[in-house]
């Protein structure tokens, strides 16, 4: 197992290198001049040229990339063109908000999706199944910004139960978590339902019932545990996605997260912030994928055995 993890960690280095080349190249060829964005419309061409030189924007592609990767290897991700703050400081101050939002949203999604998905599969084509399918359809097809605004209108404006935006206490996290969580839940609900339906058809479920096991244990211990692999896969992907920051939820609920930081940085052509943020996101994705793979071995011992044999 340790060998497997080590192998995966080594492969991550290749992924990070690929990501660095890709993001650098994309930004290099993106139209829009950071110097012009910083100095504004009224700056003279001399001022713009001077700033371009200071930022090293007139150097060749190879020189710029070499400088970027060289500094990154030394742990220096650069300084924001806009704020002049070290990029690491900006990102680290935003990442906790994004992690918190991702965890809470995933929790909301799991609480909604898994019980509903399981019930849907058990009572296939019955009222509860139809209801949960409708909920799933709404969740997946309702645009997130619209859902967010509706939640604010209902809970902040009409009922006055919850604050509309900000992050100054636990109650501030409820609306954003539900906005992302409901959306996330709809996919997980469908996967749970499908996976449970497949599992419930297996012979070992019939055997468990024939042995007189209580239905509750048949569903939870035998069916759900075996149906979890695809659910955990999707959950991992969605969680990784949430960690890259939800731009819409962060913007609407005025949360100081990574998604908003990246979008602002892209608009301002603040390359160091974009590069460093994408790096952090790719690390998060790789780590979560690895965590999901490790989790498989606990859910299904057969996978552990396969890895051991390899």
Partner 1 sequence: MKKLKILALILAATTVLTACSSTQPQKSEASSSGSEVSATSTVTKNARDQLVVAIANEPGSLDPQNVGVVSAYQVQEQMFNTLVERDEEGNFLPSLAESWEQIDDTTIRFKLRQDVLFHNGEKMTAEDVRYSIQRATEIPLSASIFKGFDGEATAVVDDYTVDVKTKEPFAGALSYLATTRGSIVSKKAAEEKGLDGFGLEPIGTGPFKLSKWESGDRIILEKFDDYWGDKATYKTLIARIIPDASVRSMELESGGVDFLFDTNPADYDRIKNNPNLVTEVGTSFTHELWLLSMTAEEFSDIKVRKAMSLALDIPAIVKTVWGELGVPADSVFSDKVYGHVSIGPIKQDVEEAKKLLAEAGYPNGFSTEITFGESAVTQAALEIAQQMWAAVGINVTITPLDQATYKDNNAAGITRFGRSNFTTSTGDPDHALANWQSGYKGALNANDAHIDELMAKGRAESDDAKRKEIYKELQEYCWNSYYSIPVVFSKVSYAYTNKITNFEFASTQQPNLSQIIFSE
Contact residues for partner 1 (CB under 8 A)? 31-34, 36-45, 47-48, 50-51, 79-80, 82-85, 90, 93-94, 97, 149, 152-153, 156-157, 159-169, 171, 251-257, 260-261, 264, 267-269
- For partner 1, give the closer residue by CB, 80 or 199: 80
The minimum distance between CB 153 and partner 1, in angstroms, equals 7
Least distance between partner 1 and beta carbon 105 (Å): 18
153 versus 206: smaller Cβ distance to partner 1: 153
Smallest distance from partner 1 to CB 84, Å: 3
Q: How far is the CB of 283 from partner 1 (least distance, A)?
A: 21
Residue 23 makes CB contacts below 8 A (sequence gap 6+) with 274, 275, 278, 279
For residues 263 and 273, the answer to whether their CB atoms sit within 8 Å is no
Quote the least distance from Cβ 178 to partner 1, whole Å: 15
DSSP 30-66: SS--HHHHHH-TT--HHHHHHHHHHHTTTS-HHHHHH
Nearest to 154 by CA among 123, 178, 181: 178
**Looking at beta carbons only, is 200 or 252 nearer to partner 1?**
252
Residue 307 beta carbon to partner 1: minimum distance, rounded to whole angstroms: 42
Round to whole Å and give the CA distance between 265 and 275.
10
In the complex with partner 1, which residue's Cβ is closer, 238 or 260?
A: 260
C-beta of 106 vs 167, nearer to partner 1:
167
Rounded least distance, CB 25 to partner 1, Å: 18
Give me the least distance between CB of 151 and partner 1, in Å please. Answer: 11
Residue 125 or 158: which CB sits closer to partner 1?
A: 158
Q: Residue 39: exposed, middle, or buried by beta-carbon count in 10 A (0-12, 13-18, 19+)? A: middle
Nearer to partner 1 by Cβ, of 200 and 247: the residue is 247
Please, are residues 100 and 179 in contact by the beta-carbon 8 Å criterion?
no
Q: Which residue has the tokens 């150097």?
A: 59
DSSP state of 68: H
CA distances (Å), origin 69, targets 16, 24, 200, 203, 282: 11, 10, 51, 55, 16
Tokens coding 85: 């703050």
CA 240 to CA 194: how far, in whole Å? 22
Burial of 121 (0-12, 13-18, 19+ CB in 10 A): buried
Residue closer to partner 1 by CB (options 26, 157) is: 157
CA distance 151 to 37: 36
């Amino acid at each position: 197992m340790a060998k497997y993890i080590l192998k995966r960690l080594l492969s991550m280095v290749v992924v990070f290198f690929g990501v660095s080349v890709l993001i650098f190249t994309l930004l290099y060829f993106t139209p829009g001049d950071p110097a012009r964005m910083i100095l504004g419309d009224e700056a003279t061409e001399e001022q713009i040229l001077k700033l371009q030189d200071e930022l090293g924007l007139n150097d060749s592609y190879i020189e710029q990339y070499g400088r970027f990767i060289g500094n990154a290897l030394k742990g220096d991700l650069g300084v924001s063109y806009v704020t002049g703050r070290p990029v690491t400081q900006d990102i680290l101050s935003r990442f906790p908000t994004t992690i918190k939002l991702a965890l809470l949203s995933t929790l909301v999604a799991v609480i909604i999706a898994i019980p509903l998905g399981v019930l849907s599969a058990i009572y296939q084509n019955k009222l509860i199944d139809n209801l949960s399918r409708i909920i799933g359809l709404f969740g997946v097809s309702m645009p997130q910004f619209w859902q967010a605004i509706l939640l604010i209108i209902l809970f902040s404006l009409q009922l006055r139960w919850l604050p509309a935006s900000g992050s100054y206490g636990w109650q501030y996290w409820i609306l954003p978590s539900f906005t992302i969580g409901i959306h996330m839940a709809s996919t997980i609900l469908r996967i749970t339902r499908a996976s449970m339906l497949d599992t419930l058809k297996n012979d070992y479920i019939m055997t468990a019932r024939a042995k007189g096991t209580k239905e509750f244990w048949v569903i939870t211990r035998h069916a759900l545990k075996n149906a979890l692999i695809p659910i955990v896969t999707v959950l991992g992907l969605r969680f990784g996605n949430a960690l890259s920051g939800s731009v819409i939820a962060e913007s609407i609920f005025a949360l100081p997260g990574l998604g908003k930081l990246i979008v602002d940085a892209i608009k301002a052509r603040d390359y160091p912030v974009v590069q460093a943020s994408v790096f952090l996101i790719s690390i998060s994705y790789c780590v979560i994928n690895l965590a999901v793979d490790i989790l498989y071995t606990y859910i299904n011992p057969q996978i552990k055995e396969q890895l051991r044999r390899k």
